[in-house]
């Protein structure tokens, strides 16, 4: 596989272009003038891929296999994530706020994977885990034009050991639908936006009460 093919792959790895510029290869893959936010850290990846040699575009269209990665000693800008959850909270009947979230954060766990069947330009699955935030979904990326289009879910996990991103319970354990479609050269703030109809539908669903909570609620309080 050519180095440029791996560079194209690196652009896809960290879900819907919330990705790392921590390596020289990733920076060189970006179009001139890109305002892509930077992840600081030490990136390691395990690649199990098959693909035809040739131009970077040909390689990107033929890759098959799996990539797993993690970013240690990271420092992650939260601007886009805060923007997404602020928008979701604005649609909540009980409100919510991300004002206490910092502008950037070091996550104890930042890892993920990409599963490719027919290259980057065909639908493929991506996953990113940042402590208690999981980003999961699928989409396409065209390295020739730097255009991407992903349908993702952003989920705040209730049982994660490190609850780095905290907001009220109305936002926890729900797969918030987010659409990410833009060009890498666009401002990061334009990369992703919640699916408003999907968010409203989730807020409208009745709260699921666990059997334990139901029992506790049924016990008369003194």
Which pLDDT tens digit goes with each residue over 185-220?
A: 888 889 999 999 999 999 998 865 544 444 555 555
User: What pLDDT, in 10s, does the model give residues 9-37?
Assistant: 344 443 333 333 333 333 444 444 333 33
- C-alpha to C-alpha distance for 142 and 151, rounded to whole angstroms: 15
The H or E element that residue 26 is part of is helix 24-29
Structure tokens that stand for 50 in this block: 């098959």
- C-alpha to C-alpha distance for 175 and 74, rounded to whole angstroms: 25
Bridge partners, 67 (sequence order): 47, 114
Rounded to 10 degrees, what is the CA torsion of 10, 119, 123, 160? -40
Radius of gyration of the chain (CA): 19
User: What pLDDT, in 10s, does the model give residues 100-122?
Assistant: 999 999 999 999 888 988 888 89
188 alpha carbon, distance to own chain's centre: 13
In contact, 127 and 15? CB cutoff 8 Å: yes
In contact, 188 and 35? CB cutoff 8 Å: yes
Percent of the residues in the chain that have a pLDDT greater than 70, as a whole number: 70
């Amino acid at each position: 596989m050519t180095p440029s093919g791996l560079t194209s792959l690196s652009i896809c790895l960290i879900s819907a272009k919330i990705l790392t510029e921590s390596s020289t290869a990733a920076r060189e893959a970006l179009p001139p003038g890109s305002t892509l936010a930077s992840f600081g850290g030490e990136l390691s990846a395990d690649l199990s891929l098959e693909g035809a040699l040739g131009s970077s575009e040909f390689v990107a269209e033929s890759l098959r296999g799996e990539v797993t990665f993690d970013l240690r000693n990271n420092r992650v800008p939260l601007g886009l994530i805060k923007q997404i959850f602020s928008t979701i909270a604005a649609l909540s009947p009980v409100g919510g706020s991300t004002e206490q979230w910092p502008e950037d954060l070091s996550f104890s766990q930042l890892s993920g994977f990409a599963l490719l069947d027919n290259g980057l330009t065909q639908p493929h699955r991506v996953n990113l885990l940042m402590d208690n935030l999981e980003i999961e979904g699928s989409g396409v990326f065209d390295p020739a034009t730097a255009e991407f289009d992903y349908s993702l879910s952003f989920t705040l996990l209730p049982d994660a050991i490190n609850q780095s991103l905290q907001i009220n319970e109305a936002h926890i354990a729900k797969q918030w639908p987010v659409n990410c479609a833009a060009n890498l050269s666009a401002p990061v703030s334009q990369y992703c936006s919640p699916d408003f109809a999907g968010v409203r539908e989730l807020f409208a669903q009745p709260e699921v009460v666990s059997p334990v909570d139901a029992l506790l609620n049924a016990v008369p309080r003194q």
